[in-house]
Structure 1
């Protein structure tokens, strides 16, 4: 009997526990689920963010849940956001929004969708770089290795090679052709071996160009470097100089002579035939030549010609081909000097616009190796002026074989 009483007590206690638990569950439902179960709208799919200049473009797809009526994008630790309404169709709908006025740097974004009852989806988190003034300050124009006039009248640009991660998209070029027609040309970038030909280019003009970058391949904004001007190397020899090689003679004894006009030869340059000839020989069809075999030295010998008209403001290159074999203590220079009255003697060489030594062998009793080379130098004019261009020589004799040099031609380029 007592055992039955105990079983009854256990059953009563168990029923009380079950009743209490049900009461707590009902209280929870009343408190938290009074409006029914929690509803999460479908999330946005296939989210992509495209970088830009102080902005981004956000795209995504709505592939499910036709009850979605809007979505909201949060950034700046959810302190800023933008809300975009959407009207769902029976198919796949696209989200597309641009967020402006963003600071430069890595930005995090959170995207949530909403239905008409205010239910909120779980978040979609993503991030992207935003570019601005710091990136702009880091980019530079693609270097031009060379820009030079061609025989067909075009200007050929040779571009420096670039790395595949450089971000360079194109180069925008502005120039004026020989018919005074302005051109605005876009050159699509290639990583290596890129050249660009500009037809009918006007010699003496420059090229203005700007390089465009994309900070990453999918960026929505290009960044352009400020336009800068690059000179085009153009040979202007025939415009300002004449008798430039093979050289023509004024006097002649069978080998030696003097240069024909417009070359001017000073007395010190005439070291042959008792001071009658010098500075020219018939070798190789006619060259500028001093030779001191037979103890016929040259001291401050000069041959020069003034340009036929003033050279415009700009940078110039004087280039020539020469061959020489020179003993110690001899010096020969190609020189450009302001004005039409000649080039300075060796002691005053520092007053020249520019010069280059064909050789300058300072070791007494030695002979320089044979030199067969193209030499050049540059000078700059800040005002238009006549310029004298020529050769200055101090060459010792020392019997046979002595010393000599030959200049085969001379050219003038505007750069």
Structure 2
């Protein structure tokens, strides 16, 4: 009797082990099916090949344009695509390496035209191979351009007074509070009839100009750089006065 119960117990354990093993195998099969399902779209497309992306980007603002300094190192890099203005505009620029160092990093300086003035926008840089088949991951950089709105905001240096004696013109100027003004260009006529120009620096409040023709006209304008790294200068309209008036 005891022997019979022992045999029944062993058979019951065997059935339990068999059931557990069956469940484990089924679970593994379902897991593999799920994993394959996740990977199928990528397997169907094949292995994705990417080119090396741009190493670094330096952006410089200009008048409705941007200048970008870029470094790239992938020897397969042959074209550069830049997307901007919300990706509604783009340019494609061929990349050339220096023959004496074909395997080293190279730099390129490009100008991006037709950039809308306003808040900083995103510029997206993508490297392509010669056939435009393979590309790099995009590199994004922010920059803003200047334009008509900035042009209309700048004002010419204020003149306080001027005097003329024995061929010497003296001009007094109001101090400027702008850190963006580079200088003020002053054009005058010399006694021999030729026009000459001098520059008044922002911290100067007076200037003395010799050999000026009596009764001639003097015109002046101020030059602005929106930021230290800007690639374009902005000029105010000319103001003028006549010596002796």
Sort the TM-score into its range (normalised by shorter chain): 0.7 to 0.9
Alignment of 1:19-168 (within 5 A): 19-62=29-72, 64-88=73-97, 89-116=102-129, 118-151=133-166, 153-165=167-179, 167-168=180-181
CA distance in 2, matches of 1:212, 1:132: 15
Secondary structure of the residue that 1:130 maps to in structure 2? coil
CA distance in 2, matches of 1:45, 1:173: 45
Give CA deviations for 1:37-64 in whole Å, capped at 9, x if unaligned.
54443332332222222222122212x4
1:174 to 171, 187, 190: 187
CA distance in 1, matches of 2:96, 2:34: 42
Secondary structure of the residue that 1:66 maps to in structure 2? coil
Residue 280 of structure 1 is matched in structure 2 by: none
CA distance in 2, matches of 1:137, 1:178: 35
Are 2:195 and 1:183 equivalent residues in the alignment? yes
CA distance in 2, matches of 1:141, 1:164: 11
CA distance in 2, matches of 1:217, 1:160: 24
Secondary structure of the residue that 1:60 maps to in structure 2? strand
Q: If the length of structure 1 is used for normalisation, what is the TM-score?
A: 0.50
Give CA deviations for 1:110-157 in whole Å, capped at 9, x if unaligned.
323234374443433322222222222222221222322245x32122
Are 2:26 and 1:16 equivalent residues in the alignment? yes
Can you give the 5+ residue segments of structure 2 that lack an aligned partner in the other structure?
A: 1-10
Report the alpha carbon displacement of residue 3 of structure 1 after superposing the two structures with TM: 0.3
Does the 8 Å CA contact 1:108/1:125 hold for their aligned counterparts?
Answer: no
Higher helix share: 2
Residue 199 of structure 1 is matched in structure 2 by: 210
Alignment RMSD (CA, Å): 2.5
CA distance in 2, matches of 1:69, 1:9: 61
Larger Rg belongs to: 1
CA distance in 2, matches of 1:6, 1:210: 97
Report the alpha carbon displacement of residue 36 of structure 1 after superposing the two structures with TM: 4.5
Residue 3 of structure 1 is matched in structure 2 by: 13
Report the alpha carbon displacement of residue 7 of structure 1 after superposing the two structures with TM: 0.3
Secondary structure of the residue that 2:75 maps to in structure 1? coil
CA distance in 2, matches of 1:230, 1:221: 28
CA distance in 1, matches of 2:115, 2:125: 20
Can you give the 5+ residue segments of structure 1 that lack an aligned partner in the other structure?
A: 233-413
Q: If the length of structure 2 is used for normalisation, what is the TM-score?
A: 0.80
The change in CA–CA distance for 1:43 and 1:163 in structure 2 (over 3 A counts) is: farther
Residue 5 of structure 2 is matched in structure 1 by: none
Report the alpha carbon displacement of residue 178 of structure 1 after superposing the two structures with TM: 2.1
Give CA deviations for 1:50-98 in whole Å, capped at 9, x if unaligned.
2222222122212x43333322221222122112232453222123222
Higher strand share: 1
Does the 8 Å CA contact 1:169/1:212 hold for their aligned counterparts?
Answer: yes
- Choose between structure 1 and 2 for higher RCO, CA contacts under 8 A separated by at least 6 residues: 2
Residue 230 of structure 1 is matched in structure 2 by: 241
Residue 216 of structure 1 is matched in structure 2 by: 227
